[in-house]
Amino acid sequence: MSTEEFDLKFKYMIDRISYSKYIFDACKMCGYGEFVVVDKDDTLSNLYKAVARQHEMLEIKDLYLRNEETKEMKRIPNTDMILRYYISKCYQSLEYRHFLQAVYEPPNKVVYRVFFDDGHGYQH
């Protein structure tokens, strides 16, 4: 495969990724984060597992959404709820709406920031 063909296929994949997947900036409480890509029809418990794998951990204690204005945190439940449904519920909820905001401005892909407790003493 040529470099040009690779570049074209890679760009095509990135352009289409948000059709079936969510992109999360999964951050430790210290602020260090990496992108994690999860299928929209996956479960919240699998989001927990994906974040742990991306950060080379066996498990993570908790995942949180954060209101960027107030810095208040809301725990994401570690359940079999479908991710697409959870995000839809957050957008419909007056309480959670400000906790789930796109990190980057258009035309960038929608990326949601989540924080996780890696067990190193974060107090919420």
Q: Helix 83-92 and helix 44-54: axis angle, to 10°?
A: 110
CATH code assigned at 97: 3.10.20.90
89 in Cβ contact with 79 (< 8 Å)? no
Judge whether residue 104 has pLDDT over 50.
yes
Domain that holds residue 29: 19-117
Average pLDDT taken over every residue of the chain: 91
Assess if residue 76 is contained within a domain. yes
The answer to whether residue 123 sits within a structural domain is: no
pLDDT at 97: 86
Are the CB atoms for 43 and 80 separated by under 8 Å? yes
Residue 13 covered by a domain? no
Nearest of 59, 58, 70 to residue 99 by alpha carbon: 70
CA atoms within 13 A on the CB side of 70: 10
Q: Is residue 65 part of a domain?
A: yes
Q: Would residue 6 count as lying in a domain?
A: no
Residue 28 included in any domain: yes
Q: What is the mean pLDDT of residues 111-124?
A: 75
